[in-house]
């Protein structure tokens, strides 16, 4: 079992690399897909009177549904890759359990039954969760419940660091709208007095 640990660590490392790149890209796509929804909603809200006047409600409703459907694609793909991660981790745990059982059968004389039982209990443990329809769910891998948060937490950390890096690049590389001489703050008592002067003003209504 000790000889399999390097292969296990290497497999988990490759797994989190693949999951990290894919989930990061899908999160980028998710953010980009949500932007048209917000823009369309704000435009609809600002021009609500015009839409009602020209009878464009159904057209904008169909456009909103199209944007919502488009924005859900990265979300569902992200959910699929999370299910894929759970499946691969379960397969890793199942392979470790099969290896322990194979060692127990082949080394019956030299291996301790108590230690083999503890090993199987650590790899394949039972967890009880209440459910509305069932009192207990089926057998869960206790090792998987520790392995999966480790991989997902690490990838979430790297993804969050990537978001922080994007914010830092946006702050440092984006040019400011203020010109060099337009960043002067007026005093706290400004303006001390003010007036409005109308000269040669003509007002009309049509």
- Residue pLDDT, tens place only, 46-71: 888 888 888 888 888 898 899 988 88
Mean pLDDT of the chain: 76
pTM of the model: 0.59
pLDDT value for 139: 37
Distance CA 100, CA 8 (A): 14
pLDDT (0 to 100) of residue 136: 31
Please tell me the predicted confidence (pLDDT) of residue 122. 65
User: Does pLDDT of 172 surpass 80?
Assistant: yes
pLDDT confidence bin for 128, thresholds 50/70/90: very low
**Higher-scoring residue by pLDDT: 48, 97:** 48
Domains of the chain (ranges; CATH) run 2-169 (1.20.1560.10)
Whether 17 shows a pLDDT value over 70: the answer reads: yes
């Amino acid at each position: 079992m000790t000889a399999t640990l390097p292969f296990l660590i290497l497999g988990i490392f490759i797994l989190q690399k693949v999951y990290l790149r894919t989930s990061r890209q899908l999160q980028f796509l998710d953010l980009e897909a949500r932007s048209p929804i917000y823009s369309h909603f704000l435009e609809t809200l600002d021009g609500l009177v015009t839409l009602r006047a020209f009878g464009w409600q159904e057209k904008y409703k169909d456009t909103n549904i199209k944007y919502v459907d488009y924005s859900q694609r990265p979300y569902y793909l992200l959910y699929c890759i999370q299910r894929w991660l759970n499946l691969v981790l379960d397969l890793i745990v199942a392979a470790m359990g099969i290896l322990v059982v194979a060692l127990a059968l082949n080394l019956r004389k030299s291996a301790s039954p108590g230690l083999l039982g503890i090993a199987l209990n650590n790899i394949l443990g039972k967890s009880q969760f209440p459910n509305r329809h069932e009192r207990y769910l089926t057998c869960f891998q206790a090792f998987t419940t520790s392995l999966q948060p480790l991989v997902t937490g690490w990838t979430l950390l790297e993804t969050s660091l990537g978001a922080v890096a994007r914010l830092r690049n946006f702050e440092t590389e984006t040019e400011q709208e203020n010109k060099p001489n337009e960043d002067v703050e007026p005093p706290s008592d400004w303006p001390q007095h003010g007036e409005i002067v109308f000269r040669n003003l003509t007002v009309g209504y049509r």
